[in-house]
Each structure stands twice: as structure tokens, then as C-alpha cells.
Amino acid sequence: MAQTKVEVEVEGRRLVLSNLDKVLYPAAHFTKAEVIDYYTRVAPVLLPHLKDRPLTLKRYPNGVDAPFFYEKQAPSHRPPWVKTVAIYSDSNDRDIDYVVCNDLPTLVWLANLADLELHTTMAKAKTPHQPTMVVFDLDPGPPANLHQCCVVGLRLRELLRDNGLDSYAKVSGSKGLQVYVPLNAPRVTYDVTTPFAKEVAVRMEKDDPALVVSKQKKELRVGKVLVDWSQNVDSKTTVCVYSLRARERPTVAMPVTWDEVAECADSGDLRPMTFEAGEALDRVAEAGDLFAPVLTTKQKLPATLR
């Protein structure tokens, strides 16, 4: 079958979009055209969180039920106006040219590549060893689920508040909860944030070993919540807020309020904490960017954990 192609203009840039009717989420019959439409409409709140950050692509050219691949090196066939940044990779012993998505044309181009998920580093491209945030990924080990993650998330928030730190939550769009501690301070390096994140995770495990684990080993995680601190290194990425997820249905990594986290922890009702693309757009239209403070809040990590 011949590929269908459509030429469009996005903010003065010309793009050729292909196979718009291809179904990328079979269970929802959600097409590539709908993926592009979602990213176009969510762009006003998404782009500030992508701005100036190296981007790892996670591409599903034949949909979520087919093989996928990660792509760190920017595709050679990219348009000349797609911004990239060269960052040295110790494991590859060379520079890798990462895509930097600062505008709508680049975002639409990525969506046309079936880059369903957008994964960013904790640091910006110009200062790759200076994270602007600390991230905790709360990952449930079955039969634990998002309910237990919310319980642990509230305890994590309390520990952080006891140490003078505000934090913000988002559902991963998959099965867990992620908690962000914005820093936005100059000269903070992973040499500071990594041990802090580990100390927090170990403290939480010590305080509640029946529910929390700080180590990755699967045999330790059954029925518990992993407080994954290991994302806080320069080689790791985390799915960006407002990114689609490559699940059975087009769910979204979505900001949630602490009141909503508390409600889930109390009730165990997971449905209000799940957002598909259309629901995410409705929520943004109503509430705006609940994650905006992560971009601007300035905080300093304590010298020692209380």
C-alpha cells in the first residue's frame, strides 16, 4: 500500500506528514493523526517542560503492540531547523547529538515519527551535569498498585516538607506516581542530588519496611513500592509531563494535586488518577499547567536530612 502524505505548514515550517490514518493504539483505535492532534493541542503547557532539555525518543512506528526502539542520536533525516545539542557519552565514548524540542514544528515532526513518549533528562542541554530538579519514581511491585504509590507519595511529601522542600506529583500514565522536587539553583550537580535522593529512599524504607523498598531487586519488591532514586544521574531520563504513554490506551503522564493523591490513598479508587489524551486536554483547558511551579520554584537541598 502506498504511503499517504500530507504537506502542512506549522509556524512557518513545512512538514510532510505520513500515514495519518495508521492506528497506533489498536485497543482505542487511536491513530497517528490523533497523536499529532494531541501533541499540537497540549503544546502550550508541554513545550516549557521540554525546553532546552536533551530528548530521548521512544518510537513506535507500527503502534504500541509492535516492537519499539529508543533513539538518542537525532535522526539523520531531520529537517535542518530541528535543534540538536552534542553531549559526550562515556558509555559510547563519543558525542551524541540529542534533539531539543523548543517549538511546535519540532513537536509535530516528532509525533509524525511516532515518537509516542518524550523522555527528558533532569538537566538542561547547556549544563548537562547540573540538574534543575530531584525526581522520585514510585513504582509498585504487584499486587501493589497506584493506590499504595499514593500512600507512599504522601509520606514522601511529608518527609520533604519536614526538610523545607516543596514537591509536586504526577501520575506516570503507566502504573506509578512520580514526585518532583524543583531546585532551579545554579551550580547544583548530580554529586549533590544523587546521594540526597538515595538517602531519602533509604530513610523511607527504614521507616516503613513493610511497604517501601529502595533497592531495584525484583524479589524485594513484591507487594511494595520502590522509591526509585536512581533516575537522578546524568545518564537517565524520565518521561516528561504531558507525554503520551505507550500503553494499551493513550494515557498521559499527568500532574495531579496532593489533594487528589490523598483521595486516592484514602479510597483506593484509581480511575480519577488515569487520564487519556482527551481527558488530559480537558483538564489542561480547565486547570492550566499544574506543573508550572516545577519550572520556577527555587529551593536548596538541606546539608543533612532531618
Across the range 142-148, mean pLDDT stands at 97
14 within some domain: yes
At 3 the pLDDT is 64
Give me the sign of the Cα torsion angle 287, 58, 83, 236.
Answer: positive
pTM: 0.96
Residues 187 and 43 in one domain: no
302 within some domain: no
The pLDDT tens digits for 263-300 are 999 999 999 999 999 999 999 999 999 999 999 999 99
128 within some domain: no
Residues 40 and 161 in one domain: no
CATH of the domain at 77: 3.90.920.10
CA–CA dist 20, 259 (Å, integer): 39
Mark which of 120, 149, 172 sits at the end of a domain. 120
169 within some domain: yes
Helices (H) and strands (E) in the chain, counts: 7, 16
Residues 218 and 150 in one domain: yes
Owning domain of residue 43 = 5-120
| Total domain count, the chain | 2
The DSSP code sequence of 18-48 is E-TT-EEEGGGTEEHHHHHHHHHHHHHHHHH
43 within some domain: yes
Confidence of residue 1 (pLDDT cuts 50, 70, 90): very low
Residues 101 and 143 in one domain: no
Question: How many Cβ atoms are within 10 Å of 192's Cβ, its own excluded?
Answer: 19
